[in-house]
A and B are shown apart, each in its own frame.
Chain A
Amino acid sequence: MTSYVAHDESNFAPPAEVAEVELHHPKTFIGKYVWSQDAKVIAIQYAVTAIGIGLVALVFSWLMRLQLGFPNRVAFIDPSTYLQLVSMHGMIMVIYLLTALFLGGFGNYLIPLMVGARDMVFPYVNMLSYWLYLLAVLLLVSSFFVPGGPTGAGWTLYPPQAILAGTPGAHWGIILMLVSLGVFVIGFTMGGLNYVVTVLQARTRGMTMMRLPLTVWGIFMATILALLAFPALFVSAIMMTLDQTLGTSFFMPALVSRGQQLGHSGGNPLLFQHLFWFFGHPEVYIVALPAFGIVSDLISTHARKNIFGYRMMVWAILIIGGLSFIVWAHHMYVSGMNPYFGFFFATTTLIIAVPTAIKVYNWVLTLWKGNIRLTVPMLFAIAFIFTFVNGGLSGLFLGNVVVDMPLSDTMFVVAHFHMVMGIAPVLVVFGAIYHWYPKITGRMLDDTMGKIHFWITFIGTYAIFYPMHYLGFMGIPRRYYAIAGTSFIPDSAHLLNAWISIAAFVVGAAQIVFLYNLARSYFRGRPSGDNPWHATTLEWQTAQTPPQHGNFGKELPVVYRWAYDYGVPGLKTDFIPQNVPPAEVAAEAWAGPPRPAGG
């Protein structure tokens, strides 16, 4: 029977065998682990760097909570230092941790394996991408040690105050920050081109777009968003660097600073805000879409049930991505914009709730009557749904102009965005690490430690951020070094702040359990075998675990079905991997793992 897979637009399939010479097998230790062109090694490099700098930002948040919960007990946190901690915490977490980890880390590891490719299509460019990312991180870190320290302008870096004397790090700090962002964007563009072209061009035979796991869809769309949105950050970084170094007036109006008329004139600070948020809002979805994709796969695999509404999920990802470009000004309601603009942006913001809600319904409907296994990855995935819904609901408040006005720049906003784009994606990161660690190392992570880590993190983050909503309603502003001596703030708020800080320390400490688990399981963990979760996607069907360079054996796998054949009735097992032919299933009432793909 010749059945054409009509839904592959180009009918394109790469040859089944790839000549060995194309793979540049590394010969030396340095070639294998340092200057590596293997996407899997690059993924680990990305992930380790991102988690390393993320831990620095975690410590920064401890220091901030130390000051907020127990004001003026710690001598070295003065108001300037506090602002620098706030700024660096935000910048690192959003860009250098989450973006790099989801796209550079999970993207590099999972895309080639899941689409059935040997590697990314341009391995050399992929390697450059990582080294530029590392350079960006080092530039950022170097700004901690220059005169004046890192910038303290907030992660949004609004001019004019970002480059005016008086703001911490207004000279070297901000320049290094902007250069670092520029390098990051260039490095990311190199990686992003790879991810997009690999998904479009390097899929194995039979792997049509509509058979891709949702993880790949999420990372793919997020990469497209990032490729289009990061230029806005790049443009604003270049223009602000010129304002700072050459004295141009792109963003700087005529102003008097410390009694002196500055040379700038006529610039428009609002222009920066538009450019920044034109990047900044899609950035939320650059982080969220990979999380959506990964969580879909985790839920389907661990509930042993096919994902509900696969095509709807794909369309929802696209629609969310598209809408995310026309909502940016909801970050600027208090900038004095035309009320009609506010109305427009409030409307588009609320419309995003529709595709997002579709996704949430589909996750819940996937769980419905599933054979739910409460493994650690599953716990994190379910916790993500709760947290994302919670954060999303407070987003509905803030999306409305009239409600946003009094809540703007309060702790309510802090609580909202931490729930929706801080905690929720980080829960997915943890779930994904527990899920794919067996494939990356060949060993399982310890279950008990995983559950301890999960429950402390999940409950602890609610203990941190739920009370913050309440503080926000009381009008406690964000970014303030101290709120003492303000009559409208009752003593109970200070008590609450102290408890939030304690919860933050506990949650932070729980991450040590996680790190210990990662390290210990690498050496002592239970061997996992090739497919411990009985998953269908191609990365679990490799001949070796961890997969060697080139991913699959001599022949690439051939894909016959979508990634969600779980719980198919009439079989002896409850899943069919993507590379099992229909004939094999029909003949033998398929009973077990297939031959490993290739030799």
Chain B
Amino acid sequence: MTIGLVFLSVLMAVIVGWLFRQTVNVQPWQAQAPVPDAPGGRAAPRAAARTALWVFLGVATSLFALFASAYAMRLGLADWSPLPRPRLLMLNTALLVGASLAMEWTAHAARRADRAGVRRGLAAGGLLTLGFLAGQLVVWKQLNDAGFLVASSAAASFFYLLTAVHGLHVLGGLVAWVRALAGVWRGSYPDRIRLGLELCATYWHYLLAIWVALYALLVSKDLGLAICTSTPM
């Protein structure tokens, strides 16, 4: 559970710092007029969707941290027998890196109000992501053909489980991608869907970060036992 606890400690520190800023030097019992509507000087309100995405990323991180904790605890037991390392994972990782970069580029294009750039970037990001998912399915097929079924060993079970959960999060991202794509194709002005595209970019970076962490867990032979050995397949 160490991984989960580390995550929670960091989160807790953030919340304590935030609450400290809310409470220090404040006398809630004193009535006051609210902030006047000063022209300028006030930052534009943060979009609710952006806050919601960050809260959701916190929940998703909690989920992955707990999966990782479970994996770390199960790893210590005697019957661990790792899988060979599928070579394709390298390519898949590269695809996801590409998708993440493309989404970032799309968000930048939207900020420049560059319609053609938005279309190209969004299409590229989505295709690369679909490529990543297809690649993951091929890896599953390869492992399955090589006789590593989901129930054949704990390492195989964790491999399928972790990749499946990550893949589902990628699929969820693709739902947002389809909606953004529909907006772009209907010809919405880039300004209107800019927020959506920026949030997509944030989420894709998150997906990439989680995947890199999972990949490290899968192949971290040097750190001790891991799901995959260094022998490639």
A binds B: yes
Residues of A within 8 A of B (CB): 1-14, 121-122, 189, 192-193, 196-197, 200-202, 205-206, 208-211, 224, 227-228, 231-232, 234-235, 238-239, 242, 246-250, 263, 265-268, 271, 274-275, 278, 306, 310-311, 314-315, 318, 322, 325-326, 558-562, 564-565, 576, 581-582, 585
Q: Tell me whether B74 is interfacial, beta carbon within 8 Å.
A: yes
Q: Tell me whether B213 is interfacial, beta carbon within 8 Å.
A: no
Q: Tell me whether B187 is interfacial, beta carbon within 8 Å.
A: no
CA distance A404 to B60 in the complex (A): 35
Return A508 CB to nearest CB of chain B, in Å: 37
Task: Determine the chain A residues whose CB is within 8 A of the CB of B69 once the complex forms.
Answer: 275
Q: Known: A248-B157, A318-B15, A559-B34. Contact between A200 and B51, CB under 8 A?
A: yes
- Please tell me if the beta carbons of B19 and A318 are within 8 angstroms of each other in the complex: yes
Task: Determine the chain B residues whose CB is within 8 A of the CB of A206 once the complex forms.
Answer: 32-35
Given contacts A13-B34, A201-B48, A235-B63, 13 further A-B contacts (CB under 8 A): A6-B26, A9-B22, A10-B45, A12-B43, A189-B59, A193-B56, A227-B55, A235-B66, A246-B150, A250-B74, A311-B26, A311-B28, A325-B8
Closest-by-CB residue of A relative to B15 is: A318
CA distance A235 to B164 in the complex (A): 13
Return B192 CB to nearest CB of chain A, in Å: 15
A-B contact pairs, 12 of them (CB 8 A): A208-B28, A228-B8, A235-B63, A239-B70, A242-B161, A248-B157, A249-B151, A263-B151, A274-B73, A311-B23, A559-B34, A582-B31
- Please tell me if the beta carbons of A11 and B31 are within 8 angstroms of each other in the complex: no
The tally of CB-CB contacts under 8 A between chains A and B is 176
Task: Determine the chain B residues whose CB is within 8 A of the CB of A560 once the complex forms.
Answer: 31-34
CA distance A468 to B70 in the complex (A): 37
Task: Determine the chain A residues whose CB is within 8 A of the CB of B70 once the complex forms.
Answer: 235, 239, 250, 271, 275
Q: Tell me whether B175 is interfacial, beta carbon within 8 Å.
A: no
Residues of B within 8 A of A (CB): 1, 4-5, 8, 11-12, 15-16, 18-19, 21-23, 25-26, 28-36, 42-43, 45-46, 48, 51-52, 55-56, 58-59, 62-63, 66-67, 69-70, 73-74, 77-80, 150-151, 154, 157, 161, 165
Task: Determine the chain A residues whose CB is within 8 A of the CB of B74 once the complex forms.
Answer: 250, 267-268, 271
- Please tell me if the beta carbons of B154 and A205 are within 8 angstroms of each other in the complex: no
Return A573 CB to nearest CB of chain B, in Å: 16
Task: Determine the chain B residues whose CB is within 8 A of the CB of A576 once the complex forms.
Answer: 31
Closest-by-CB residue of B relative to A318 is: B19
With most chain B CB atoms within 10 A of its CB, the pick from A122, A202, A268 is A268
CA distance A239 to B48 in the complex (A): 34
- Please tell me if the beta carbons of B157 and A242 are within 8 angstroms of each other in the complex: yes
CA distance A599 to B34 in the complex (A): 21
Task: Determine the chain A residues whose CB is within 8 A of the CB of B22 once the complex forms.
Answer: 7, 9, 208-210
- Please tell me if the beta carbons of A561 and B154 are within 8 angstroms of each other in the complex: no
Q: Known: A6-B26, A581-B33. Contact between A231 and B79, CB under 8 A?
A: no
Task: Determine the chain B residues whose CB is within 8 A of the CB of A200 once the complex forms.
Answer: 51
Closest-by-CB residue of B relative to A322 is: B12
Task: Determine the chain B residues whose CB is within 8 A of the CB of A268 once the complex forms.
Answer: 73-74, 77
- Please tell me if the beta carbons of A326 and B5 are within 8 angstroms of each other in the complex: yes
- Please tell me if the beta carbons of A228 and B11 are within 8 angstroms of each other in the complex: yes
Task: Determine the chain A residues whose CB is within 8 A of the CB of B43 once the complex forms.
Answer: 10-12
Task: Determine the chain B residues whose CB is within 8 A of the CB of A266 once the complex forms.
Answer: 77-80, 154
Q: Known: A200-B51, A228-B62, A562-B29. Contact between A4 and B150, CB under 8 A?
A: no
CA distance A6 to B62 in the complex (A): 33
Return A575 CB to nearest CB of chain B, in Å: 13
Return B70 CB to nearest CB of chain A, in Å: 6
Task: Determine the chain A residues whose CB is within 8 A of the CB of B66 once the complex forms.
Answer: 231-232, 235, 275, 278
CA distance A559 to B30 in the complex (A): 12
- Please tell me if the beta carbons of A310 and B28 are within 8 angstroms of each other in the complex: yes
List the 8 shortest-distance A-B pairs measured between CB atoms, nearest first: A206-B34, A266-B79, A561-B31, A7-B26, A231-B63, A248-B157, A210-B28, A247-B151
CA distance A271 to B51 in the complex (A): 33
CA distance A192 to B1 in the complex (A): 24
- Please tell me if the beta carbons of B59 and A231 are within 8 angstroms of each other in the complex: yes
